[in-house]
């Protein structure tokens, strides 16, 4: 999908919804330097959604969509959960998979897109909750990493099954008592980032979404590495304020509290040697371009 494809026929312009008109006029498709700095000034690729007021997951969603390097050539694969409530309101191609199937579908999709559009780069991004990634879809998630499928997996980790009332999930922290897990969790949080690293992911990052520039960098790196080298994985902490008993304005503080040194979501990044060489080259290239631009401006 290019921006040309979403343009409105002149005769029908006035009967299209104003949101769609804004999308055609202001959205940042095809802009190379797009990032979270565009929010507030350009139309975002996400519309009014049905997530709760103050939900940190929707903050994460905004950043992810603002930071995709090429939204017009990206297909997102979602799965059951709170994220699937948002996908109908997103202006990026997306597929809703069966619960847990997301990485299997993305594997097939990525291979098919490579055959269908050999001259173009099409990004595939999986975006699912922790239940789909770690419990129900763990098989598909791991197999896609073992096979070195070239797409990015993003996990919105809210540490429980929020959509159905707070049952225990694999990523729930030890000892936590959920609304529908009254005995408390008996074993540790599944160390999925470490598993990802050992399963062949070339770029792994764990963080909260309290710092947008950090999220932007991680998402860009993950998608670019996935294009060229192999699977990548990002785990974002998006606490469910309802289920952990917080007020709607306390989500941000909760994220900041859990990312300090030694806490569960301290920023962690793993880059394989191959990916490191690639990212360093990209950085050098970007710096060279900036320098050339500055030199041209000075003249």
Positions touching another protein (CB under 8 A) are: 36-37, 39-41, 43-44, 46-49, 51, 53-56, 58-59, 62, 212, 248-249, 251-253
CA angle (99 as vertex; 95, 104 as ends), nearest 5: 65
Q: How far apart are CA 46 and CA 183, in angstroms?
A: 38
Q: How far apart are CA 217 and CA 235, in angstroms?
A: 14
Q: How far apart are CA 295 and CA 292, in angstroms?
A: 5
> Based on CB atoms, which residue is closest to another protein, 59 or 225?
59
| Residue 130 beta carbon to another protein: minimum distance, rounded to whole angstroms | 19
Q: How far apart are CA 66 and CA 201, in angstroms?
A: 24
| Residue 40 beta carbon to another protein: minimum distance, rounded to whole angstroms | 4
> Based on CB atoms, which residue is closest to another protein, 41 or 273?
41
Distances (CA, A) of 258 to 128, 188, 253, 279: 21, 16, 9, 28
> Based on CB atoms, which residue is closest to another protein, 63 or 151?
63
| Residue 89 beta carbon to another protein: minimum distance, rounded to whole angstroms | 8
> Based on CB atoms, which residue is closest to another protein, 223 or 255?
255
Closest CA to 39 of 30, 27, 48, 49: 27
| Residue 259 beta carbon to another protein: minimum distance, rounded to whole angstroms | 15
Closest CA to 225 of 121, 299, 295, 296: 121
| Residue 157 beta carbon to another protein: minimum distance, rounded to whole angstroms | 17
Q: How far apart are CA 280 and CA 294, in angstroms?
A: 21
> Based on CB atoms, which residue is closest to another protein, 131 or 251?
251
Pair 38, 66: CB distance under 8 Å: yes
Pair 242, 214: CB distance under 8 Å: no
SS3 135: helix
> Based on CB atoms, which residue is closest to another protein, 7 or 37?
37
> Based on CB atoms, which residue is closest to another protein, 31 or 49?
49
Distances (CA, A) of 20 to 31, 36, 89, 160: 18, 21, 11, 35
| Residue 275 beta carbon to another protein: minimum distance, rounded to whole angstroms | 28
| Residue 45 beta carbon to another protein: minimum distance, rounded to whole angstroms | 8
Q: How far apart are CA 1 and CA 92, in angstroms?
A: 9
> Based on CB atoms, which residue is closest to another protein, 43 or 227?
43
| Residue 116 beta carbon to another protein: minimum distance, rounded to whole angstroms | 31
């Amino acid at each position: 999908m290019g921006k040309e494809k979403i343009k409105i026929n002149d005769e029908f312009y006035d009967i299209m919804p104003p949101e769609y008109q804004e999308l055609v006029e202001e959205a940042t498709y095809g802009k190379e330097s797009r990032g979270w700095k565009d929010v507030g000034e350009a139309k975002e690729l996400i519309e009014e959604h049905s997530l709760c007021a103050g939900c940190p997951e929707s903050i994460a969603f905004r950043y992810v969509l603002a930071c995709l390097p090429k939204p017009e050539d990206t297909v997102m694969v979602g799965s059951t959960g709170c994220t699937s409530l948002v996908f109908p309101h997103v202006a990026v191609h997306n597929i809703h998979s069966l619960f847990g199937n997301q990485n299997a579908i993305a594997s097939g999709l990525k291979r098919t897109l490579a055959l269908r559009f050999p001259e173009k780069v099409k990004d595939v991004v999986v975006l699912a909750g922790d239940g789909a990634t770690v419990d129900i879809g763990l098989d598909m998630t791991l197999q896609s990493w073992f096979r070195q499928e070239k797409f990015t997996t993003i996990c919105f980790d809210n540490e429980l099954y929020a959509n159905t009332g707070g049952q225990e999930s694999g990523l729930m922290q030890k000892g936590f008592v959920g609304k529908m897990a009254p005995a408390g969790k008996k074993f540790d949080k599944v160390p999925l980032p470490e598993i990802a690293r050992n399963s062949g992911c070339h770029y792994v990052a764990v963080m909260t979404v309290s710092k947008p520039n950090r999220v932007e960098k991680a998402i860009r790196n993950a998608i670019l590495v996935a294009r060229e080298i192999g699977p990548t994985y990002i785990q974002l902490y998006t606490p469910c304020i309802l289920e952990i008993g917080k007020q709607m304005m306390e989500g941000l503080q909760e994220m900041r509290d859990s990312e300090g040194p030694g806490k569960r979501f301290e920023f962690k990044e793993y880059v394989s040697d191959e990916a490191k060489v690639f990212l360093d080259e990209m950085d050098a290239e970007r710096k060279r371009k900036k320098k050339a631009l500055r030199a041209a401006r000075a003249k």
